[in-house]
Chains A and B, each alone.
Chain A
Amino acid sequence: DVKVTQSSRYLVKRTGEKVFLECVQDMDHENMFWYRQDPGLGLRLIYFSYDVKMKEKGDIPEGYSVSREKKERFSLILESASTNQTSMYLCASRRRGLAGYEQYFGPGTRLTVT
């Protein structure tokens, strides 16, 4: 079974703090993705990575950065958290070249920025 884990289920941070969200997958997948999910807006892609040290901007990258130093781990970084980054963050992974096939999701991190 594919397993995607995220470092925290719930996180509360203050405005201006630097926030790290970690995602780890155990299936040797090349592609990893970070989404945020907000009511009425669905899942929106922030960044994705198709290999170690490779990254591409998604639809809403502003205010975020990412790091992929190892194949199994993909980190999302909020350099200076703001209240409009309060959201559910979902990580996903998939084998490269299978864009039409299912992605495997982690359980999500609900981030609140106060």
Chain B
Amino acid sequence: EDKVVQSPLSLVVHEGDTVTLNCSYEVTNFRSLLWYKQEKKAPTFLFMLTSSGIEKKSGRLSSILDKKELFSILNITATQTGDSAVYLCAVANFGNEKLTFGTGTRLTIIP
């Protein structure tokens, strides 16, 4: 059974700080890892990672995958209050059409 573990479960930091969110996984026949941001409603897509060591970047957010150690990190630099959200990690395998999600990390940015 595929498994995704995110840490920490919650994090509170001050505006301007840099944060690192972690996602470790166990999945047979790994296909990709995805990061989503969820504010008050629907999760919105951030990144899809398939290859080790290649950083994906979007503004102040970046993410990288390590397929040998089976984890990914999501970095947010110079955090803003608008970054407050639940960040979800999910993995896909080649065996089926499903995604397996972690429990999420709740990030709170204090002004």
Contact = CB atoms under 8 A, between A and B. Distances in A.
A43 B41 CA distance: 13
B48 interface: yes
B99 interface: yes
Nearest to A30: B97
B31 A100 contact: yes
Interface residues of A, number: 26
A103 interface: yes
Given A100-B50, A102-B45, A105-B42, A43 B101 contact: yes
* Chain B interface size range: 20 to 34
Interface string A72-114: 0000000000000000001000101001111111111000000
B105 to A, nearest CB: 10
Given A42-B104, A90-B42, A58 B48 contact: no
Nearest to B31: A100
Given A41-B103, A42-B101, A58-B98, A102 B42 contact: no
B70 to A, nearest CB: 16
B53 interface: no
Contacts of B44: 105
Interface string A38-53: 0011111100101000
B5 to A, nearest CB: 10
Contact of B48 (A43, A44, A102): A102
B75 to A, nearest CB: 20
Contacts of B104: 42
B80 interface: no
Contacts of B102: 42
A31 interface: yes
Contacts of A90: 42-43
Give the most central of A4, A45, A101: most B CB within 10 Å: A101
Given A43-B43, A105-B43, 4 more contacts: A48-B97, A100-B48, A100-B50, A104-B45
